[in-house]
Structure formats: structure tokens, C-alpha cells
Amino acid sequence: MKTHGTYFLPGDNSGAKKMFCIGQPRSQLYIGDTITVSIKESLPSHRSRVKKGNVYKAVVCELKQKRNRFTHLGRSFSKNSAVIVNSKGDPIGTRIYSLASFELRARGHIKIASLSPFLF
């Protein structure tokens, strides 16, 4: 169960290396949820759009825990990944590296789904 205190890897090129979940909408996380994260590690300031210790909003893109789709097909990923977004919901980074699923598009994160290399 992914809850408060889970570490996430970045799914974009915003400059974060490791993120820590400090706020979530409910007790369990699903793909497409918007969470509050704190940046624990980042690239140097001249190469990064985010700073270590700052708080941002992020959208969950991949989860290790197996989740079922509406078609009862269970799937899981190899890592916990999230994309940092601004107040409008647009990604801060210019490239998305994590895989996007149809749940992102259904939740209204169309920009993230369109920048992703693969949609399934």
C-alpha cells in the first residue's frame, strides 16, 4: 500500500532525483492521483527547475503495487514514478520518461499522456 512517506522517482526531466510523498488525497494511491511531494535530492541548481527541500504537486504515473483496471487486468511497474506539475496541472519538465496509461487520460492529465513515449 502506497501511503504517506513513500519515495518516488521522477518521471520527467525537471531535475529531481528523489521525491518524498507528504500529502495524498486518500489512504491508497492510484495512477493519476495528484499528491504533494518534497524534493529530497536534485541536480545542481544551474541544471534543475526544482530545488532540494521545496514542496511541489506531482501526478503518480507508475506504481510497484499491482492495481486492477476496469477490465480486471492487473498490472504493476518496476518503480514508483511521479511527474512534477505546476498549479495548472501542466508538467514542469519538457520530457516525460515514464510510461503513461489510460488512467492518466481518464483523470484529465492529457498533457502528460501526450508527452509520454508510450500509452497503453
Tens of pLDDT, residues 58-72? 999 999 999 888 788
Per the CB < 8 A criterion, the answer to whether 34 and 25 are in contact is yes
Domain residue spans in the chain? 7-115
Per the CB < 8 A criterion, the answer to whether 119 and 105 are in contact is yes
CATH number of 7-115: 2.40.150.20
- Return d(Cα 9, Cα 1) in angstroms, integer: 17
pLDDT band at 86 (very low <50, low <70, confident <90, very high): very high
Mean per-residue pLDDT, 96-107:
88
In Å, how far are 3, 6, 106 from 28, measured between CA atoms? 6, 11, 18
Q: What is the DSSP letter of 100?
A: B
**Res. 4: pLDDT tops 70:** yes
Percent of the chain scoring above 70 in pLDDT: 98
pLDDT at position 2, please?
66
**Res. 1: pLDDT tops 60:** no
pLDDT band at 41 (very low <50, low <70, confident <90, very high): very high
Percent of the chain scoring above 90 in pLDDT: 68
